[in-house]
Amino acid sequence: MITAYINFHIYIIIHFMTIFHKYHGAGNDFIMINNLDKSVTLVPEQIKQFCDRNFGIGADGVILLEPSDKADCFMNYYNSDGTLAEMCGNGARCTAKFFLEQTSALGLASRKIELNIETRAGIKNIKVNEDDTYSVNMGAPIFESPDFPTVTGLTCDKKINIEGFDFNCVSMGNPHAVTIVEDLNKLDLKTIGPKVEIDENFPNKINVEFVEKISEDYYKVKVWERGCGATLACGTGACAVYSILNKLSPKPCLGEEITLEFPGGKLYLSENEQGHVLLRGPATFVFKGEISQLNLNSTVIK
């Protein structure tokens, strides 16, 4: 009887253990789960606890790698608060690396590899470069509401003042508000960020980027992500910053790569002939493990 009891509980624990891999792109970190067989189903409360940096694994989001009939795979991305997200540039690079490693397609030295990843913001083309960075074609920026959306129907060239900052809005598959500041060190991100995110002008909330110009091709950025809070980097945020700078500048940097330095690292932005924003940056594997789904209040990590 005791043996049967023990065996039953061993079976339950094994059955509910989920293998995960931890990745980051310039410090923007993700819990990656191979769900190509569609065996894993997570609810928002599980995602929130998995992402908790004290009681879970800790991450800015969870990405389920899933099958797609339109591309090589589908990036099923959730913010750390358990909400669905349309797109994540850093997550797309990490998904590409995770997919290639999980399917053993990577490992051909000095050869560029290209793949397509389906996201809720469309299919994104990703190239693996010889320097082990990943380039994502993020598509064309959208400068008009309701794609932000805003309650006032703003366009990119119309500023909106919130908390003393002038913001321009753009969508990269998800909404962004971008503002230029003189000194990022004087910015109280944890106070200003959430106020802008939930401002009444943005019915679906918004991602927020604060930008300091260092030179014509080098900028520093801090970001407050919708559904995540302050993060070390944001891929779509980098594209939003690049797009606003390009749109409003008297001398657009078409075709030229600029550097955006986030607290977690550098991302590189350019634009192709079709007006699509190209995001280049690292995708880094950190570790792998198993996590129990048995008890949301006492998550077990091995």
Catalytic site residue from 88, 156, 169, 239: 88
Average pLDDT over residues 240-256: 80
Residue 34 has pLDDT above 90, yes or no: yes
> pLDDT for 269-280, tens place per residue?
999 989 999 999
Residue 105 pLDDT: 56
Looking at per-residue pLDDT, the higher value among 105 and 114 belongs to 114
- CA of 46: how far to CAs of 28, 64, 95, 169, 280, in Å? 20, 13, 20, 32, 31
- For residue 301, name the pLDDT band (cuts at 50, 70, 90): very low
Looking at per-residue pLDDT, the higher value among 12 and 202 belongs to 202
CATH domain 2-133+284-292 topology: Diaminopimelate Epimerase; Chain A, domain 1 (3.10.310)
Domain residue limits, the chain: 2-133+284-292, 160-281
Examine the residue annotation and report whether 73 is marked as an active-site residue of this protein: no
Residue 77 pLDDT: 97
Instruction: Say how many Å lie between the first and final Cα of the chain, rounded.
Output: 28
- For residue 159, name the pLDDT band (cuts at 50, 70, 90): confident
Residue 151 pLDDT: 53
Residue 147 has pLDDT above 90, yes or no: no
Neighbouring residues of 250: CB distance < 8 A, sequence distance ≥ 6: none
> pLDDT for 44-57, tens place per residue?
999 999 999 998 99
Catalytic site residue from 94, 156, 234, 239: 234
- For residue 253, name the pLDDT band (cuts at 50, 70, 90): low
- For residue 4, name the pLDDT band (cuts at 50, 70, 90): very low
Torsion of the alpha carbons at 40, 41, 45 and 51, rounded to the nearest 10: 30
Q: Kindly report the pTM of this predicted structure.
A: 0.85
Residue 108 pLDDT: 47
Residue 12 pLDDT: 38
Examine the residue annotation and report whether 234 is marked as an active-site residue of this protein: yes
CATH code given to domain 160-281: 3.10.310.10
> pLDDT for 166-225, tens place per residue?
999 999 989 999 999 999 999 999 999 999 999 998 888 999 999 999 998 999 999 999
